[in-house]
Amino acid sequence: MNNQLSFNQKYAAIGNQNTNYEGVFITAVKTTGIFCRPSCRARKPNIENVEFYDNVQQAMQNGFRPCKLCKPMQTMDATPEYIKTIIKELHANPYLRIKDQDLKDQGLEPSHIRRWFKKHHNMTFQSYQRMLRINAAFTSIKKGETITHSAFDSGFESLSGFNDSYKTIFGDSASQSKDKAIINIVRFTSPLGPMFACASSQGVCLMDFTDRKILEAEFKDLCKRLNAVILPGSNPHLDLVQKQMAEYFNGTRKSFSVPLHYPSTEFRESVWTELQNIPYGQTRSYKQQAEAMGNLKAVRAVAAANGQNRINILIPCHRVIGSDGSLTGYGGGLHRKKWLLDFEKSHIKS
């Protein structure tokens, strides 16, 4: 691969609080004896005092200790355990209504909870709870329960309040949107940054990094194709994909058995299906991918379809490179593509 970052490129990347290089390298400062993430917000050290390592293990082996500010030993943007507990309680009982006083009784600061949900789910904590209740009510209505019964049973204090919330999410009243489907969404962390995973009743239909600018467009396209809305909620496919992704990043899983659901054009679906035939730790060129599909004239179309892949890693578009062996476009960023390829190759060798 000829996309290795130079020393000067790495030095230019630090001090900007840019998370794009998370997992790509570690910054060590000789004068202080500490090592940091590339995105650490501490003052940028002088260039002559800097050394770069590939990972925290190398930095520690050379006598450096972790920075207390950016905490490079921890997974970046990991969900705190107290947040995990709250989310687990809400998913187990979507009708539960957790108020500020309930949080204070548990020794938690409500403002901290609100800030976390706003930052990582782009909604308030109360909105998150309300969407879970709407999800439960929608499921109840789909099973034949009356709208009134479902509204009050899901914790809404008035039918008008339920109808207003329902229309905000679905765009129609409960009586007019029974044919809509639900796509459930979950946020989880990885060594390369936090990710979103979405699943329909048929399987995982989206998995991408939360910092992708194209995410909103992907959500809209998916909802349009499936006539669905995206809501937080329990889904067995999401439970399975989180388990298997943890195993993948631990180096113990090299293939996935998670059901996938990727509605699109017939050509794109064929491209994404072929991508799944590329073995763990190996790469293919776009030309080789087009040849495997029996259409050598479709190299550019294949490359475009790879770029439109909504299910990262499970559909391994990161394993496709240029004919000259160079890293080419990857929606999650070339730094992540390189990390994934190096990671897989190191575990094949081991």
CA distances from 24 to 20, 71, 250, 311 (A): 9, 16, 17, 22
CATH code for position 306:
1.10.10.10
**308 and 261 fall within a common domain:** yes
Q: Are 284 and 278 in contact (CB under 8 A)?
A: yes
CATH code for position 157:
1.10.10.60
pLDDT of 3 reads: 47
Give a yes or no: residue 241 inside a domain.
no
Task: Give CA angle at 218 (316, 172), nearest 5°.
Answer: 140
pTM, entire model: 0.69
**104 and 143 fall within a common domain:** yes
Q: Which residues of the chain have pLDDT under 50?
A: 1-3
Give a yes or no: residue 41 inside a domain.
yes
Q: Are 275 and 289 in contact (CB under 8 A)?
A: yes
DSSP 90-134: HHH-TT----HHHHHHTT--HHHHHHHHHHHHSS-HHHHHHHHHH
**93 and 23 fall within a common domain:** no
Give a yes or no: residue 197 inside a domain.
no
pLDDT tens, position by position, 41-60: 889 999 999 999 988 888 98
Q: Are 199 and 241 in contact (CB under 8 A)?
A: yes
pLDDT of 28 reads: 95
For the chain, report the end-to-end CA distance as a whole number of angstroms: 20
pLDDT of 172 reads: 67
Domain that holds residue 15: 7-66
Q: With H, G, I as helix, E, B as strand and everything else as coil, classify residue 13.
A: helix
d(CA 348, CA 267): 31
**262 and 345 fall within a common domain:** yes
Q: Kindly state the tokens that stand for 275.
A: 């991508």
Give a yes or no: residue 218 inside a domain.
no
Q: Kindly state the tokens that stand for 225.
A: 């194709």
pLDDT of 322 reads: 84
pLDDT tens, position by position, 258-298: 999 999 899 999 999 999 999 999 999 999 999 998 877 88
Q: Kindly state the tokens that stand for 218.
A: 């992907």
| Residues annotated as catalytic (active site), given as ranges | 317
Task: Give the count of domains, the chain.
Answer: 3
Give a yes or no: residue 184 inside a domain.
no
Q: Where are the beta strands (DSSP E) in the chain?
A: 26-29, 34-36, 50-53, 65-66, 181-188, 195-199, 204-209, 228-232, 284-285, 320-321
Give a yes or no: residue 158 inside a domain.
yes
